[in-house]
Amino acid sequence: MNTKNPYSTIGLPLEIERLNELAYNLWFSWNDEAKALFSLIDPKRWEQTLHNPVRLLLETDSEVWSALSKDGPFLEQYERVCQQWDAYLSDTTWFQKSYPEHLQHRIAYFSAEFGFHESLQIYSGGLGILAGDHCKSASDLGIPLVGVGLLYKRGYFMQKINQDGQQQAEQIVYDFNHLPILPVSNNNGEQLVITISIADRTVHLRIWQARIGRNSVYLLDSDVEGNSPWDRELTAQLYGGDQDIRIAQELLLGMGGVKALRALELPTAVYHINEGHAAFQAFERIREQLENGVPFHIALEVIRSSSIFTTHTPVPAGHDAFTQSMVEYYCSSLLNRWNDHRHEFLQLGMDEAKQLFNMTHLALNTAALRNGVSKLHGEVSRDMFRSFHNNIGVQEVPIHHITNGVHMPTWLAPELKELYSRFLPGRWLEDQTSGNLWKSLELIPAESLWETHVVLKERMIRFARSNLLEQFTRNGQPAEIIEGVHSYLSARALTIGFARRFATYKRANLIFSDLDRLDRLVNDPERPVQFLFAGKAHPADQPGQDMIRDIYRVSQMNRFRGKIILLENYDMNMARHLVQGVDVWLNNPRRPYEASGTSGQKAAMNGVINFSILDGWWEEGYNGTNGWSIEGNNEADWHTQELENTESIYRQLEQEIVPLYYNEGKLPTQWVDRMKQSIQSLAPVYNTDRMVMDYTNKAYMPSLKRTLQFLDNDYDLVTKVADYKRFIISNWHHVRFIEIRDDVNGQSAEFAAKASNDKTQGLKEVTATLSFGPIWYKDTVVEIVYYEQRGEDWYPVVIQMEPSRELDNRVVQFKAVIASHLQHLTHYTIRIRPISPSFVSSFELPLVTTT
């Protein structure tokens, strides 16, 4: 298969012909000199096209190219960028040095949305931006990752705010031939098309390629001649439509994505699904194994070993679920073909309590490694899915965490990159995860860091004014209001930013709980504060849209006009201006509903200080000196929490944040010190280089090695594991406790003799006698479990019991020594569970029998 550039015949002079190559690789989006190069061609058009280099090339007249091919400064910039691009491609990468033996094994990364750049708007918010940043760092690190997603003809939506503050969702139909993507063709030069069975019909999908540095992301498009009108609309819009559209999209992404990888002839060893939308990939991969004659239970183990699932949603309602009849209808071709395994397929996703097919359950059942996206979110996820794991101890639920990060070259302001390069050692951007490297930030003079920040702040203010001018002019605001926009916002004033999806749990309106108190902050003649808000609400989320309207109405009050700003059409371009230009980044969600949150990480690397609820990443990132935490009793009811959070916001603004910002005149050295503390403590940790290295070390490579072992020797090991699991599950009901003895008087003579020794005083011997039926006792572990208090929290203590003697009829006695005051059932329990050296986690089979 190949990708042929359809615009390679654009009449570019030989001297600048590689502009095509640069335009069709989104590497330009995180290389400042490449963006500056495209801007030089036509600065106005560059802005009008949303920084889309492909449209820029197509819409530029030939005489311009002729002139530029003789323009000395332009050619110098062009050569510099080409040299940087060539050097990037030829560099020895982290993955090459770390895992040279696995360069040929690709990792497939499935996501319903990807946010690479504003010129390719197939993202809605944090999930997509994270996916885009993940792919960029994978390229930087040399990880052989291939992305799989959908290509949305109408993207998400363009947001307009009318004169009443109502959000208006406008659709734009994209011409894919004008985007930085390429159609994939087969060896005959024809566009590559795959097919997938949905319900009673066949849907055709075109494949497009987005080049992301060294790697590619392949996007599926159902707007293909021959498809029904309904099917052509399946990839029309991200998160649009009803349940039928949603399940069909998820089948295209999961099952269609696997088919695309096969058609592209890409040997894939590991499958990472970014949220449950892509979990149907397991159905297609099990089908492949069945077609090759592999039994279902063995096929499932192969798929589990090579699948990684990242969950992002701490709210149960955020996990997609469908009725069984809907799944049976849309998967009818698969289920009818393999009718003997119909029940097994459906059980992989069934939530028995709700009698719904849950995509997260499907992902959990078909991925051996699972993770949340922050430490706190890992804890929340373990609690949320405890019942799924047979109600084992919440700390033992096999869901871990890898905390999110952001792609530093994308989000760090060019001016700060230049400043950092003058003081940080070596190729600091390639070594950004080194904490020691960032200590050199202390060498940057306070004046230099502050002056750079002010430049970024002034640029953000110009951007905000331009956004408001367009909004107010379109809405027919009076001339004096439109003219007044030129005086909105001040680079001198403390500026607080709040920009994210407008969902009610994010509480964008919390600061408006006391308008008089807010008035005093905003209109203080000596120490003014100003706020910028931005974000979209889903078109079906009326409460979120009401929040936008309410903020708009406050912003139009005379006392807040020009000091509380609501910007429209939040996208990556606006996000860059805001995270680089404000002074404080405000985040006040209901805890623990913010799984991670990455906007504050983008702000932090730019010297913007976080002021946030201790939720998501900030719960682990905050150290007491690198920002501020919004306080409140997390155990209280929601109303009380909101009151306490609101009071904390106002109090800290009034008593700490505002005074610190204004206490030293033009150069607030104490404020700059806190900026430095924020950058030093957060930048080396909360970046996607660190995150993707964590995924590689903790998930990709362990999964790859386990899968290769499973497939070796004609599936020998995986067959043993699958057969073992099936045997254990079928016979676990035979395992039972016969007797527990923990009375001191019943101790063995051997232990009684030892008890006279001081070292064993206060201890006792506990014995447990169990019957195992057909299960070998060495395939299990027997454990005493109790809890002990450490500080304010209680933690489980697990003591393994040792087999002491084997009795008749597969009955075995176990013993262990514990503190004599611990009483059975009152203080501790005894449990037995299956074990295997081939298990990924201790509770891979959550079969536990307890006393």
The pLDDT tens digits for 560-608 are: 999 999 999 999 999 999 999 999 999 999 999 999 999 999 999 999 9
User: Taking residues 140-160, what's their average pLDDT?
Assistant: 96
Judged by DSSP in three states, 754 sits in helix
Per residue in 357-404, pLDDT (tens digit) is: 999 999 999 999 999 999 999 999 999 999 999 888 899 999 999 999
Q: Which residues contact 586 (CB under 8 A, 6 or more apart)?
A: 496, 497, 498, 511, 531, 611, 612, 649
Measured distance CA(472)–CA(708) in Å, rounded: 60
Do residues 341 and 280 touch, judged by C-beta distance below 8 A? no
* Topology of the domain comprising 446-685: Rossmann fold (3.40.50)
Q: How many Å apart are CA 708 and CA 697, to the nearest integer?
A: 16
SS3 832: strand
Tell me the per-residue pLDDT of 800-842, one tens digit each, with 9 for 90 and over. Answer: 999 999 988 899 999 999 999 999 999 999 999 999 999 999 9
List, in sequence order, every residue forming a beta bridge with 788; answer none if it has no partner.
795
CB 340 within 8 A of CB 299: no
pLDDT at 4: 52
Quick one: what percent of the chain has pLDDT higher than 70? Answer: 97
Look at residue 793 in the predicted model and tell me its pLDDT. 81
Mean pLDDT of the chain: 94
Region 176-194: mean pLDDT is 94
* Amino acid identity, position 105: H
Question: Cis peptide leading into 592, omega within 30 of 0?
Answer: yes
Return the CATH number of the domain spanning residue range 94-401.
Answer: 3.40.50.2000
Alpha-carbon distance of 625 to 129, in angstroms, equals 28
In degrees and rounded to multiples of 5, residue 495 shows phi and psi of -120, 125
Give every strand in the sheet of 828-834, ordered side by side: 793-800, 780-790, 828-834, 849-850
Q: Tell me what the mean pLDDT of segment 652-675 comes to.
A: 95
When comparing pLDDT for 390 and 202, which is higher? 202
Give the pLDDT of residue 391: 85
CATH class assigned to 735-850: mainly beta
The model's confidence at residue 743, banded by pLDDT at 50, 70 and 90, is confident
CA–CA gap between residue 256 and residue 703 (Å, rounded): 23
* Residue 148 one-letter amino acid: V
Contact 647, 511 (CB under 8 A): no
pLDDT, greater one: 389 or 757: 389
More confident: 438 or 240: 438
Q: What is the mean pLDDT of residues 634-638?
A: 92
Confidence band (pLDDT; 50, 70, 90) for 351?
A: very high
DSSP string, 202-266: EEEEEEEEEEETTEEEEEEE---BTB-HHHHTTTSSTT-S-HHHHHHHHHIIIIIHHHHHHHTT-
pLDDT for residue 808: 81
Domains 94-401 and 446-685 share a fold: yes
In this prediction, residue 9 carries a pLDDT of: 47
Contact, 812 vs 805, CB < 8 A? yes
Please report which residue ranges of 271-341 form alpha helices under DSSP H.
Answer: 281-291, 296-305, 324-330, 332-337
Q: How many degrees, rounded to 5, is the angle at CA 459 between CA 438 and CA 425?
A: 20
Name the helix (H) or strand (E) containing 97.
helix 94-98
How confident is the model over 842-848, as a mean pLDDT? Answer: 93
Q: Distances from the Cα of 562 to the Cαs of 351, 468, 473, 490, 493, in angstroms?
A: 51, 10, 16, 9, 12
Mean pLDDT of 619-639: 96
CA angle, 609 then 611 then 616, to 5°: 105
The rounded distance, in Å, linking the Cα atoms of 430 and 470 is 40
pLDDT at 792: 80
List Cβ neighbours of 715 (8 Å cut-off, separation of 6 or more): 294, 298, 302
Going by pLDDT thresholds of 50, 70 and 90, the confidence category of residue 753 is low
Closest Cα partner for 320 from 352, 353, 363? Answer: 363
The residue whose two tokens read 């060896």 is 187
Short-list 771, 791, 793, 773, CA closest to 782? 771
Q: In this model, does residue 49 exceed pLDDT 60?
A: yes
Q: What is the pLDDT of residue 7?
A: 47
